[in-house]
Structure 1
Amino acid sequence: MPHLRIHFTDADLARTRLKLEADLMWEVVGSVQALQYAAGGLSFGSWRRRVRERVGEDGCLRAAVHSLVTVAPHASYFPDFLTPSAAVPDIGTGAELVLATPRRRLRAEIRRLRPAGGAAKTWLEELADGKAAALRHLERALRVYFRCLVEPHLDVIEQALRIGCAAGVQRYLHAGPEGLLGWLGPATRWGPPVLTVDYPIDRDLFLAGRGLVLIPSYFGVHHPVALADPRLPPVLVVPLHAGARLLAGRRGGDHVSALLGATRATILRSAVTGCTTTRLARQAGVAPATVSHHTNVLRDAGLITTDRHENLATHLITPLGLAVLGPGGG
């Protein structure tokens, strides 16, 4: 498998940070690509069905989806200008930043695309040339698409980001930037001074003192993504694990027991105030050896931590575990 190798210096480690709020433009692009392949079906199956229904009923939305699929294909390359590095508090600002892309850069990035032909190819050519009508069409597509298909889900997206990032924040607090880089998931491997990422193409990215912004993405479901142009401010967009999306979208019922099983749910709830293994065994009604098995699983999932002092182990819930329990304590 090809890899992206991201090369760090000590200065890069010091400047590496985790973005905790949703990046609207990366979510737009990620969701457009999520429409083009079937990965993450359990998380996105119902969303894709609603998209198909709305597209069938709304010609403006259908045109917006078609345009964005054209300019952001699910491929090894899509244009960097669609995901500006500046802060994007709303879709209006995002669209303005996209349209403000210098014409030379716009032309170079769009011409790397390989559309099949027809009207899509003609529109991309006009967009590459900076034609006003083509730019207005892209702006309208971004606004309509976001308003219809992303904005209604922002609460769930933000909640999933909080759940998904809690363990990363804890790793950063306990082990610094290197702990954070070691948390990113099975598609990444941290071997100082290089972060190796499973990737569609083989490439190297030298940070050269600029640091790295890690951007968790709700709609990123395939693999981590970096900008194609190494001269741009470096980012790595990291897909949230499926559990964070599923937990964020859950409503009603004893979702914790349904997800973890009754014994692990009891242990997780008991760990809110900190519990020894013996006490957990008594509360869950199982043997201490069985508790140890369950706490190992919960700890590996980032839901609890264990503090050991001599022969005493105390288990305490993490922010991610609290997020799993939800506002009402699960």
Structure 2
Amino acid sequence: MPYLRIHFTEVDLGRTRLASRIDHMWEIVNAVQLLQHREGGLYFDGWRRWVRQEALAEPRLQRLLCTLQHIAPHAEYFPDFLTPAGGFDDLGDALDAVVSVPKSRLRTEMALLGCESAPSRAIADGGAPALHGLRAALGGFYRAAVQPRLEVVEAARHADLAHRMHTLLHDGVEAMLTGMAPGAVWEPPVLRLPYVVDSDLPLAGRGLRLVPCYFSLQGPVALADPGLPPTVAFPLDPATRLLAAERRPGDHLGALVGTTRAAILRLVLDGCSTRELIRRTGVAPATITHHTTILRDAGMIATQRDGAVASHHITPLGLRVLHRTG
């Protein structure tokens, strides 16, 4: 069986990080690939049918799919520039990063793809019209096929993140790493992941960014160029997709803990200072302090202080509550 062998140093273990926000580009690429095969029917057949029905009714979506399937095929390779490193909060910033790579890199990666379609050749040449069209195709596909399902995607990601944070806190980083895929093996200092081809990824002190993906199905995927910032995207725990799809709509969290505490719990998902909570909720400072104290005492948030600045972060328990209640 081929493996991806990721070589860690002690520094790399400390710099391993789990993406807490959705990575728009990894989700787009994985979603495009899901439409090119029939696997994972239990989780994705309903979504596939819906996208194809939309495409039949909207010729523009058909053209978007045709363009994207050429450059993000369901195959062993797709160009790294489609999934820029680092992650971006805003889809527009992510799309800008995709079309801002140097022309030499575009040519190299598109040559590795080996696609000779006219749109692919135009992208490889790096002309402004072709890159503008690629940006429009990626953004249009996201809005048509991913965004309508975003609530379910985020619910599944939050549940998966809660589980992995729990594993990290209770069992350590090695247990979290081996939990990325069935058959993963940790043989210090190397993590072996079942892969499509034999490959080695030396981290060399750069750390590793882990990206859980809702639309991913096939197993972990690393950037093809080992010189790029080390990144591995991998599928969510399948159970989280099913649980997220079964949720009933509505603000059950607000009904459970109150609307202000619910808002605070959502805002601290990626970390938030007291001053920022006050600004974003419009609630008085004393009231915010009262609510954060209650959430902290309940084990749903943790607070770190740096001088006069208090920063609040969600805990694994808070993530579980957030997921189960919407």
Q: Which TM-score bucket, shorter chain as reference?
A: 0.7 to 0.9
Unaligned runs of 5+ in 2: 250-315
* Residue of structure 2 aligned with 1:129, choices 107, 125, 129: 125
Deviation at 1:105, TM superposition (A): 0.4
* Residue of structure 2 aligned with 1:151, choices 121, 138, 147: 147
Q: Does structure 2 retain, via aligned residues, the 8 Å contact 1:187–1:224?
A: no
Partners of 2:246 and 2:159 in 1: CA distance = 13
Structure 1 residue aligned with 2:111: 111
Other structure's SS at 2:133 match: helix
Deviation at 1:76, TM superposition (A): 0.5
Letter in 1 for 2:5: R
| Pairing 1:209-224 to 2, within 5 Å after superposition | 209-224=205-220
Letter in 1 for 2:143: R
Deviation at 1:91, TM superposition (A): 2.1
Deviation digits for residues 239-286 of structure 1, max 9, x if unmatched? 012110110111349xxxxxxxxxxxxxxxxxxxxxxxxxxxxxxxxx
Structure 1 residue aligned with 2:8: 8
- Pick the structure with greater CA Rg: 1
Deviation digits for residues 9-56 of structure 1, max 9, x if unmatched? 111111111112211110000101111111211111110000110111
Structure 1 residue aligned with 2:41: 41
Pair 10,195 (structure 1): closer, same or farther in 2 beyond 3 Å: same
Q: Does structure 2 retain, via aligned residues, the 8 Å contact 1:226–1:236?
A: yes
Partners of 1:320 and 1:240 in 2: CA distance = 19
Q: Does structure 1 retain, via aligned residues, the 8 Å contact 2:181–2:220?
A: no
Partners of 2:13 and 2:76 in 1: CA distance = 27
Partners of 1:186 and 1:321 in 2: CA distance = 24
Structure 2 residue aligned with 1:77: 77
Other structure's SS at 1:111 match: helix
Partners of 1:140 and 1:70 in 2: CA distance = 15
Structure 2 residue aligned with 1:199: 195
Unaligned runs of 5+ in 1: 254-317
RMSD: 2.0
Deviation digits for residues 182-216 of structure 1, max 9, x if unmatched? 32231422221111111111111100011111110
| Pairing 1:97-108 to 2, within 5 Å after superposition | 97-108=97-108
Structure 2 residue aligned with 1:326: 324
Letter in 1 for 2:74: H
Partners of 1:203 and 1:185 in 2: CA distance = 16
Other structure's SS at 1:11 match: helix
Deviation at 1:325, TM superposition (A): 8.5
Q: Does structure 2 retain, via aligned residues, the 8 Å contact 1:218–1:245?
A: yes
Pair 252,158 (structure 1): closer, same or farther in 2 beyond 3 Å: closer
Structure 2 residue aligned with 1:186: 182
Partners of 1:208 and 1:157 in 2: CA distance = 33
Are 2:13 and 1:17 equivalent residues in the alignment?
Answer: no
Pair 103,14 (structure 1): closer, same or farther in 2 beyond 3 Å: same
- The TM-score normalised by the length of structure 2 is 0.76
Structure 1 residue aligned with 2:29: 29
Other structure's SS at 1:155 match: helix
Q: Does structure 1 retain, via aligned residues, the 8 Å contact 2:180–2:220?
A: no
Other structure's SS at 1:326 match: helix
Q: Does structure 1 retain, via aligned residues, the 8 Å contact 2:181–2:193?
A: no
Structure 1 residue aligned with 2:221: 225
Partners of 1:83 and 1:113 in 2: CA distance = 15
Deviation at 1:90, TM superposition (A): 2.4
Q: Does structure 1 retain, via aligned residues, the 8 Å contact 2:23–2:88?
A: yes
Structure 2 residue aligned with 1:251: 247
Partners of 1:9 and 1:68 in 2: CA distance = 37
Partners of 1:322 and 1:137 in 2: CA distance = 40
Partners of 1:17 and 1:215 in 2: CA distance = 9
Structure 1 residue aligned with 2:236: 240
Q: Does structure 1 retain, via aligned residues, the 8 Å contact 2:55–2:62?
A: yes
Partners of 2:143 and 2:149 in 1: CA distance = 10
Pair 325,8 (structure 1): closer, same or farther in 2 beyond 3 Å: closer
Pair 244,111 (structure 1): closer, same or farther in 2 beyond 3 Å: same
Structure 2 residue aligned with 1:94: 94
Other structure's SS at 1:61 match: helix
- The TM-score normalised by the length of structure 1 is 0.75
Other structure's SS at 2:78 match: coil
Pair 210,321 (structure 1): closer, same or farther in 2 beyond 3 Å: closer
Other structure's SS at 2:211 match: strand
Are 2:53 and 1:63 equivalent residues in the alignment?
Answer: no
Deviation digits for residues 128-180 of structure 1, max 9, x if unmatched? 11122211110110111011111111111111011112221011112332232
Q: How many residues align?
A: 260
